[in-house]
C-alpha cells in the first residue's frame, strides 16, 4: 500500500476508526489500515477491502474470516453494511445488537470496552453542552438560538425572542430587537418598532430606554414616519407625543385605534 492509497483510506473513513469511531485526534496519532477480508484468506488490496481502524480494533479483529473460522458469522463492513440495522446505542452509551451479526461484531471487536463507553459518554456530554450554547432547529432554545422559532440570550429566527439581542421577522428582545415587527424593552428597530422602556426607579419623572426606530415607531423615544411616543423625544412626520400632537397624527391614530378595536373587540 503506497502513501496515496493510505491517504485515500484515511479520507474515506473521515480520519476515524471504521469499527469503533475514535478519531485520530482522540488517539493522538494516525491509525492503522485493516484488510477486512484478510490477505491470508484471499483478500485484495482494493480500497473497498481496506478499513481505517485504531490499533486496538485491528488487534481484536485479527485475521478473522467467516468462511474459515468459527462461528462462521460474517463480520460487518463499516461502509458496505448499514450498521444502524445491526447496532443501537443505549442511553448509557452501551452498544447493543439487533442481529446475530451485530452481536458478533460487538463481541469480536470488544466495542463495549470500558474506555470506549467512556469515550462515547464524553462525546455526548460535549454535544449536549454545544447544543445548549448553540441551538438550532425548527424550535430552538439556547444561549445562541437559530431556528424558525428561536428563544435565547441571542436569538435569530423567523419568530425570535431574545434576552439581549433578537433578530427576526417578528422579534421580541429585551435589550436590542431588530425585525420587520420588533418589540423591545430597550431598543427596537423595525418597520413596526415598539420599545417600551420604563421609568427610572426612584426617579418617577425620568424614563430610561424605550428607543424605537421604525416606519411606525411606538415607545418612549421614537423616530419614525408614524411616531407615537410617551416621552418628550419623539420625532416623526405623524407625531403624537407630549411635545407635539400633529393633528393629522391624532386623526390617523384615532382611526387606527377604532379599526383595531373593531377587529378585536366585538361590538354588542
Closer residue to Zn ion in complex, CB, 53/192: 53
Closer residue to Zn ion in complex, CB, 22/228: 22
Give the Cα separation of 91 and 128 in Å (integer). Answer: 13
Residues near Zn ion, by CB under 5 A: 17, 19-20, 54, 57
Task: Give the nearest distance from C-beta 24 to Zn ion in angstroms.
Answer: 11
Beta strands in 66-133 (DSSP E): 87-89, 95-97
CB neighbour list of residue 53: distance below 8 Å, 6 or more residues apart: 13, 17, 18, 19, 20, 31, 32, 33, 34, 61
Task: Give the nearest distance from C-beta 109 to Zn ion in angstroms.
Answer: 7
Task: Determine if the peptide bond prior to 71 is cis (ω within 30°).
Answer: yes
Task: Give the nearest distance from C-beta 18 to Zn ion in angstroms.
Answer: 8
Task: Indicate the SS3 state at residue 231.
Answer: coil
Closer residue to Zn ion in complex, CB, 124/258: 124
Task: Give the nearest distance from C-beta 20 to Zn ion in angstroms.
Answer: 3
Closer residue to Zn ion in complex, CB, 60/211: 60
Which residue shows C-alpha cell 423591545? 184
Choose among 35, 19, 38: nearest CA to 27.
19
Amino acid at each position: 500500500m503506497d502513501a496515496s492509497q493510505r491517504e485515500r483510506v484515511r479520507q474515506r473513513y473521515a480520519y476515524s476508526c471504521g469499527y469503533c469511531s475514535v478519531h485520530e485526534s482522540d488517539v493522538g496519532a494516525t491509525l492503522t489500515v485493516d484488510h477486512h477480508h484478510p490477505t491470508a484468506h484471499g483478500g485484495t488490496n482494493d480500497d473497498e477491502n481496506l478499513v481505517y481502524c485504531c490499533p486496538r480494533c485491528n488487534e481484536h479483529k485479527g485475521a478473522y474470516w467467516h468462511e474459515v473460522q468459527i462461528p462462521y458469522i460474517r463480520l460487518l463492513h463499516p461502509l458496505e453494511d448499514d450498521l444502524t440495522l445491526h447496532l443501537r446505542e443505549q442511553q448509557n452509551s452501551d452498544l447493543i445488537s439487533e442481529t446475530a451479526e451485530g452481536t458478533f461484531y460487538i463481541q469480536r471487536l470488544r466495542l463495549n470496552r470500558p474506555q470506549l463507553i467512556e469515550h462515547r459518554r464524553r462525546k455526548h456530554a460535549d454535544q449536549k453542552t454545544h447544543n445548549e450554547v448553540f441551538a438550532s432547529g425548527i424550535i430552538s432554545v439556547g444561549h445562541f438560538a437559530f431556528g424558525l422559532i428561536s428563544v435565547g440570550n441571542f436569538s435569530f429566527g423567523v419568530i425570535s425572542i431574545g434576552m439581549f439581542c433578537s433578530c427576526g421577522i417578528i422579534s421580541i428582545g429585551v435589550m436590542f430587537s431588530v425585525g420587520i415587527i420588533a418589540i423591545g424593552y430597550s431598543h427596537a428597530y423595525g418597520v413596526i418598532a415598539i420599545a417600551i422602556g420604563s421609568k427610572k426607579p426612584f426617579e418617577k419623572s425620568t424614563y430610561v430606554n424605550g428607543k424605537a426606530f421604525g416606519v411606525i415607531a411606538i415607545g418612549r423615544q421614537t423616530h419614525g414616519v408614524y411616531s407615537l411616543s410617551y416621552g418628550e423625544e419623539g420625532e416623526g412626520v405623524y407625531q403624537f407625543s407630549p411635545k407635539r400632537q400633529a393633528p393629522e397624527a391624532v386623526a390617523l391614530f384615532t382611526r387606527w385605534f377604532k379599526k383595531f378595536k373593531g377587529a378585536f373587540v366585538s361590538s354588542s
